[in-house]
Amino acid sequence: MAKILQKPKSFYDVFERKPDSNQQTTHYCPGCGHGILSKLMAEAIDDLAIQDKTLLIAPVGCAVFIYYYFRTSAISAAHGRAAAVGTGLSRSHPEAVTISYQGDGDLAAIGTSHTIHAANRGENMIVLFVNNHNYGMTGGQLAPTTLLGQVTATSPYGRSQLNDGRPIKMAEIIATLDAPVFVARCALNSPKNIMNARKILRRGLQAQVDRKGYVFIEFLSPCPTNWHQTPVEACRWIDRVAVPLFPTGVFKDVIDEVPPQIRTLEQPDFHAILDAVGRDEPAEIHGEKIPLPYPVVKLKIAGFGGQGILSAGTLLADAMMKQGVNVTWLPAYGPEVRGGFANCSVVISHEMIGSPIVDEPNILVALNKPSLFKFGPFVPRDGLIIYNSSIIDEIPEGIVARLIAIPGSDLAQQAGSVKATNIVMLAKLLKETGMLQPTDMHTVLREAFPKDIVFNLNVTALEYGFSY
């Protein structure tokens, strides 16, 4: 009796990439090898019974579709950083099977250094490298694996060795390293090659189940859409053109010769860390906790670069830590810290903080007009906005939060220097929220400004802002 083909259990029943979608097939272009590899992966995960221990990683590109297909744990990585994310996951979850699923435009370009160093460390992960010789999702541009003479969107006359160099052979490069235990290349263009790819994939996954170390498998994949070929022509092109330069086969297999790579998950000694960085123990909370205006304070401090925006956030974060409160501080990097628009996010809570990102602040401290216009409309009705009325003479439409004006720059000048505007604004924040008293800031101010003249100036600015 013929066996009835069924969708692997590690696949979702419906691939809901778009709202109300009932699609039961993958979203890849007709003739693409990604869908074939996804099916091989799902079958292998089922047969090896590793669905509940699989950690799937994919960055940008065609690889991102896999999140809609696999009923496993999955995480996204920034472009080219899947190996770095995989390193963290495999070390923090050593019992898991970590799978990094990447394309050639990702792994062999921006991700080259991450890939090579993860391989050189012998991380417990398997890397599935889909090579279709172009940037598939973004229009078919030239990739590190594009063949000489191959026409792409950014090499209309074909790849030139003088201009672009020769194609990079990642499998051969990885195989030269000592640490990887299994390196292979196979193709997804014919029944025979697909069955061989199935066999190679399962050997690599079994090595991960046994925690044998780093595995790298490259898959030559048809890309009919960007190659401007029919699916049949694309499959034949792999045999005729790609394989002579990128030969298939197993380049390295020492799986049976190496012991399991066991990395113990060390728990850090918090007290030792404090000693190493020269910090004191967090203050013990006696009696009631310090008051917070919201269960989770999501603060945005913003202004011109040079106004001490990042410093104000750091001072507040340090002061809160000394009170035994959970806090994160996240600066905005870029040209804004050299005179343009700068901001930082501070999250404060008595509970554990899940993310340092503040997209919708419940408190905004705006030191200049662009900051108020940019972030003010995002503060909710029950939120608070404190703005520097010395230089902000207009309130944008759409503000629904409570507004408090304070002539921060003028008060700072009276205190001794306009450079202390950030301290004045910070003091007003503390006064309106009741989180801290001015004296609670003295220790962090002394640490930040050891010279008496600068310390005293900032203490004065703190008092001016708090008492205004």
Give the model confidence (pLDDT) of 95-153 as tens digits. Answer: 999 999 999 989 999 999 999 999 999 999 999 999 999 998 888 999 999 999 999 99
CATH of the domain at 297: 3.40.920.10
The answer to whether residue 376 sits within a structural domain is: yes
The answer to whether residue 83 sits within a structural domain is: yes
d(CA 468, CA 464): 6
d(CA 225, CA 240): 18
Same domain, 249 and 297: no
0.75 surpassed by pTM: no
Contact 37, 197 (CB under 8 A): yes
Mutual angle of helices 408-415 and 421-433, in 10-degree steps: 110
Same domain, 135 and 239: yes
Residue 7: predicted pLDDT: 87
Same domain, 450 and 301: yes
Which residues form the domain of 77? 33-257
Q: Is the pLDDT of residue 313 over 80?
A: yes
> In 76-106, which positions are buried (b, 16+ CB within 10 angstroms) versus exposed (e)?
ebeebbbbbbbbebbbeeeebbbbbbbbbbb
The answer to whether residue 8 sits within a structural domain is: no
Sign of CA dihedral 79, 81, 83, 85: negative
Concatenating the DSSP letter of every residue in 111-148 gives THHHHHHHHHHT-S-EEEEEE-SSBTTTT-B--TTPPB
Higher pLDDT, 232 or 342: 232
Same domain, 171 and 294: no
Write the CB contacts of 273 (distance below 8 Å, at least 6 apart in sequence): none
CATH of the domain at 84: 3.40.50.970
The answer to whether residue 28 sits within a structural domain is: no
The answer to whether residue 253 sits within a structural domain is: yes
The answer to whether residue 41 sits within a structural domain is: yes
Q: Is the pLDDT of residue 288 over 70?
A: no
Q: Name the percent of the chain lying above pLDDT 70.
A: 94
What pLDDT digit, counting tens, does each position of 7-25 carry? Answer: 899 988 888 766 666 777 8
Residue whose C-alpha is closest to residue 63's, from 30, 96, 37? 37
The answer to whether residue 24 sits within a structural domain is: no
Residue 306: predicted pLDDT: 85
Residue whose C-alpha is closest to residue 249's, from 207, 206, 218? 218
Same domain, 237 and 294: no
Confidence band of 268 (pLDDT split at 50, 70, 90): confident
d(CA 434, CA 428): 10
Same domain, 334 and 445: yes
Structurally, how many domains does the chain consist of?
A: 2
Same domain, 215 and 324: no
The answer to whether residue 265 sits within a structural domain is: no
The H-assigned helical ranges of 123-230 are: 161-164, 170-175, 191-209, 224-227
Residue whose C-alpha is closest to residue 170's, from 232, 122, 106? 106
Same domain, 203 and 306: no
Same domain, 190 and 294: no
Give how far Cα 158 sits from Cα of 150, 151, 205, 224, 244, Å: 5, 4, 37, 17, 18
Distance spanning both ends of the chain, measured CA to CA:
87
State the Rg of the chain over Cα: 28
d(CA 403, CA 366): 11
Same domain, 111 and 154: yes
Give how far Cα 129 sits from Cα of 45, 187, 222, 448, Å: 17, 11, 13, 48
Same domain, 229 and 339: no
> In 204-220, which positions are buried (b, 16+ CB within 10 angstroms) versus exposed (e)?
bbbbbebbbbbbbbbbb
What pLDDT digit, counting tens, does each position of 153-211 carry? Answer: 999 999 999 999 999 999 999 999 999 999 999 999 999 999 999 999 999 999 999 99
Same domain, 251 and 301: no
Mean pLDDT lowest among 11-25, 328-342, 434-448: 328-342
Residue 336: predicted pLDDT: 46
Cβ atoms < 10 Å from Cβ of 439: 9
Residue whose C-alpha is closest to residue 86's, from 38, 52, 123? 123
The phi and psi torsions of 207 (rounded to 5 degrees) equal: -60, -35
